[in-house]
Amino acid sequence: MRCTCGPVTKLLSLMPIRMILIGVATIVLHACSASTSSVTSYAPENGESSLNVAAQYEDLQLVPKLPPPNNTNQGADELIAVNDLLEIDVFQVDDLDRTVRVDPKGNISMSLIGRVAAAGKTIPDLESEIERLYGVNYLQKPEVTVFMKESSGNRITIDGEVRKPGIYPTSSTSTLLEIIAVAGGFTKLADDRKLYVYRAFGDKKLVANYDVKQIRAGKARDPRIFGGDVIVSFTSDAKVAAQNLKEALGIAGRAAFIGTL
């Protein structure tokens, strides 16, 4: 079949994601610099939370520090994600025991009660919900145990100016410096003061700037990284602004989606 795409589309299809990201950081920003203010560091004042002083950029918020994912008991609990494989045991009712995978809409299918929303819940929350549903019409005081057999949510994406961009597993103790090390460290073009971490927080997407030089010097805390986070390193000559923060997230997000296929 003859390709009908234009020369720019052909070129982009052959370029690695890191090179596309450099182009976005260079071209888009200069085009928007006249109308878009550059991203600066924000600090809470007078006891305000980081979310109260967030800079609003439509669907993306810049915050000085990322909070733990929403509804995770300050990061102590793991959130169930799409494609996770769960083992569900209903005490003394073997016929209701199931091993189920969370479908693309975030649901699982259970005997008698049908579809149950799972993605975004903690395991204790899902256990309570299944107990409630079975208790309405079918069982007296049901006891449900949910076990995570496979977790697709415990992965992060790192892109931009690192030596080995890609998708990596994370644990309950993973930190930003550990993830950078796993990705092979920065390239020569990177500015270690321009590392941005994106995180879903409820129906919002938050992003924070971390200065790795300060972290390595012990002048700033090495933040914990959670499953689902996206990390992007920018070049030293990139003037980071709202527009290319969005562009970088879009590129890294598409790479993560392709990597899960």
How far apart are the C-alpha atoms of 11 and 28, rounded to whole Å?
17
Q: Are 142 and 91 in contact (CB under 8 A)?
A: yes
Partners of 100 in the beta sheet? Answer: 86
How far apart are the C-alpha atoms of 57 and 208, rounded to whole Å?
13
**Which of 128, 149, 144 has the alpha carbon at shortest distance from 84?**
149
How far apart are the C-alpha atoms of 50 and 61, rounded to whole Å?
10
Q: Is residue 131 part of a domain?
A: yes
Q: Is the pTM of this model over 0.85?
A: no
21 shares its domain with 37: yes
Per-residue model confidence as pLDDT tens digits over 87-143: 999 999 999 999 999 998 999 999 999 999 998 888 999 999 999 999 999 999 999
Q: Are 115 and 108 in contact (CB under 8 A)?
A: yes
Q: Is residue 79 part of a domain?
A: no
Q: Which residues contact residue 150 at a Cβ distance below 8 angstroms, ignoring those fewer than 6 apart?
A: 84, 85
- pLDDT score of 42 more than 80: no
H helix or E strand, kind and range, residue 235: strand 230-235
- The whole-number pLDDT of residue 253 equals 60
**Which of 221, 181, 81, 203 has the alpha carbon at shortest distance from 231?**
181
Q: What is the CATH number of the domain that holds 35?
A: 3.10.560.10
Q: Are 172 and 78 in contact (CB under 8 A)?
A: yes
- Alpha-carbon distances of 16 from 8, 19, 166, 184, rounded to whole Å: 14, 6, 12, 17
Q: Are 27 and 248 in contact (CB under 8 A)?
A: no
231 shares its domain with 246: yes
140 shares its domain with 15: no
214 shares its domain with 240: yes
Most confident of 25-34, 85-94, 247-256: 85-94
- pLDDT score of 75 more than 60: yes
50 shares its domain with 175: yes
First-to-last CA distance in the chain? Answer: 25
95 shares its domain with 120: yes
Q: Is residue 232 part of a domain?
A: yes
- The whole-number pLDDT of residue 76 equals 67
56 shares its domain with 180: yes
160 shares its domain with 220: yes
139 shares its domain with 167: no
- pLDDT score of 260 more than 70: no
Q: What is the pLDDT confidence band of residue 56, given thresholds at 50, 70 and 90?
A: very low
- The whole-number pLDDT of residue 82 equals 84
- The whole-number pLDDT of residue 38 equals 36
- Please give the average per-residue pLDDT across 205-231, as a whole number: 93
Q: Are 197 and 208 in contact (CB under 8 A)?
A: yes
How far apart are the C-alpha atoms of 79 and 81, rounded to whole Å?
6
Per-residue model confidence as pLDDT tens digits over 226-251: 988 999 999 987 766 566 677 777 77
65 shares its domain with 178: yes
Residue that finishes a domain, picked among 135, 150, 165: 150
- Please give the average per-residue pLDDT across 52-61, as a whole number: 51
Q: Is residue 141 part of a domain?
A: yes
Residue 210, both tokens? 């971390």
Tell which wins on pLDDT, 199 or 154. Answer: 199
- pLDDT score of 217 more than 80: yes
Q: What is the pLDDT confidence band of residue 171, given thresholds at 50, 70 and 90?
A: confident
140 shares its domain with 223: no
Residue that finishes a domain, picked among 98, 128, 150: 150
- Alpha-carbon distances of 231 from 46, 145, 157, 179, 255, rounded to whole Å: 30, 34, 6, 9, 12
Q: What is the CATH number of the domain that holds 141?
A: 3.30.1950.10
Question: What is the residue range of 114's domain?
Answer: 85-150
How far apart are the C-alpha atoms of 172 and 168, rounded to whole Å?
14
Alpha helices for 29-94 (secondary structure H) = 29-32
Residue that finishes a domain, picked among 150, 181, 201: 150
238 shares its domain with 169: yes
Tell which wins on pLDDT, 126 or 15. Answer: 126
Q: Is residue 23 part of a domain?
A: yes
Q: Is residue 80 part of a domain?
A: no
Residue 236, both tokens? 């030293």
SS3 assignment, position 212: helix
- Please give the average per-residue pLDDT across 63-78, as a whole number: 78
Structural domains counted in the chain: 2
